[in-house]
Amino acid sequence: MYACFRSIGAYVPKNVLTNHDLEQRVDTSDEWITKRTGIKTRHIADKDETTSDMGTKAARLALERAAMQPDDIDMIVCATISPDYFCMPSTACMIAKKLGVANVPAMDISAACSGFIYALATAKAYIEAGMAKNVLIIGAEKLSAIVDWTDRTTCILFGDGAGAAIVSATENKEEAIIDVNIAADGKYYNYLITPGCGTNHPCSEEVLKERACFIKMKGNETFKVAVKTLTSDVEEILAKNGIASEQITHFIPHQANYRILNAVANALGLSDDQVVMTVSKYGNTSSASIPMAMNEIYEAGKLKKGDLMLLDAFGGGFTWGSALVPFCG
Ligand code: ACO
């Protein structure tokens, strides 16, 4: 049995936060943000809108596009670093509840911006092992809730949103996900971290005063490792599978910074037509960014059955991953 990528859906919250809006909050400028990141706007969830609300909306669309009912799902995997609840229940359980799905495994994956590829690897492995037939995978984030809105080095980068996909069993090798590679190196754990409120620094007045429950990032150092790792990761998966970069229809990388994406695309010799870039509209939505970008080209009529997608992500941990995926929608 093989695993195929059957459908895509996404949800973007309606509120738009522009660089000019951010100029009113912190010492920054539209010019700095545009030049250093390529970001112009990001979408921000309502106060009472949760990560699972957004994930559920994306999931409903993915189900509809696969012509499936929630009952057809036999596993739910949600990648997120901004769960509805701190330790439990998982956001996947909340999505299961909202979809009306019971008695199937539902779990979260914490792999920061690489989370969607980790979820895809999990779905593929369960299907190939014969343990699941239709897996709902989701990347959903309400990063606005874990961003320090007084820290100009991070608050300009992130946005909210969700993407979801159905990964199904197939006997047709032509449809099969070709390969997924995931990896991590924990020695970089403190380059991108929410230092407080875990068991290392349990929630206390001091932790709250130091704003240690929000995202902290060594941006420049992260940038350098990201470019190197994203490039070598893709070179490896292409070489391992004997696929040339010209054979890729859509390169869909994690949307963190247009300078990172351009550097990786240039190193791989990919043309502008092949590279999907949504960072200017949505900013960095962590685990949601790849499925949101994929949904963008699907809704624009550019993602067709049989197109070969190359996914590539890098994030906190550090974690990273890449995947070669024919679209079977
Ligand atoms: N507005 C104006 N100036 C700023 C701002 C801002 N918003 N933020 C920082 N600066 C200043 C700094 O203070 C610094 O000033 P100094 O030279 O006087 O000290 C100067 O701008 C340059 O700062 P750098 O951090 O060196 O800027 P850089 O070019 O590296 O860009 C950025 C910063 C955009 C964060 C970039 O490093 C980046 O994109 N890093 C990688 C992000 C990433 O890929 N993360 C992984 C995934 S995210 C996840 O997993 C959740």
Atom of ligand 1 nearest to the CA of 316: 50
Give me the tens of pLDDT residue by residue for the chain, a chain 329 residues long. Answer: 999 999 999 999 999 999 999 999 999 999 999 999 999 999 999 999 999 999 999 999 999 999 999 999 999 999 999 999 999 999 999 999 999 999 999 999 999 999 999 999 999 999 999 999 999 999 999 999 999 999 999 999 999 999 999 999 999 999 999 999 999 999 999 999 999 999 999 999 999 999 999 999 999 999 999 999 999 999 999 999 999 999 999 999 999 999 999 999 999 999 999 999 999 999 999 999 999 999 999 999 999 999 999 999 999 999 999 999 999 98
The alpha carbon of 231 is separated from its chain's Cα centroid by a whole number of angstroms, namely 18
Domains for the chain: give ranges and CATH numbers.
2-173 (3.40.47.10), 179-326 (3.40.47.10)
pLDDT at 32: 98
Catalytic residue status for 220:
no
Global pTM reads 0.97
Q: Percentages helix, strand, coil for the chain, rounded to the nearest 5?
A: 40, 25, 35
The residue type at 167: V
Please state the atom number of ligand 1 nearest to the C-alpha of residue 315.
Answer: 50
Q: Ligand 1 mean position to 219 CA, how many Å?
A: 5
Name the residue with tokens 């792999």: 111
Mutate to test the pocket of ligand 1, among 113, 223, 319 (most ligand atoms within 8 A of CB): 223
Determine the residue of 30, 148, 220, 287 to mutate for testing ligand 1's pocket, defined as the one with the most ligand atoms within 8 A of the Cβ atom: 220
Task: Classify the C-alpha dihedral 51-57-61-63 as positive or negative.
Answer: positive
Q: Where are the alpha helices (DSSP H) in 216-272?
A: 219-240, 258-268
Cα 23 to ligand 1 centroid, rounded to whole Å: 16
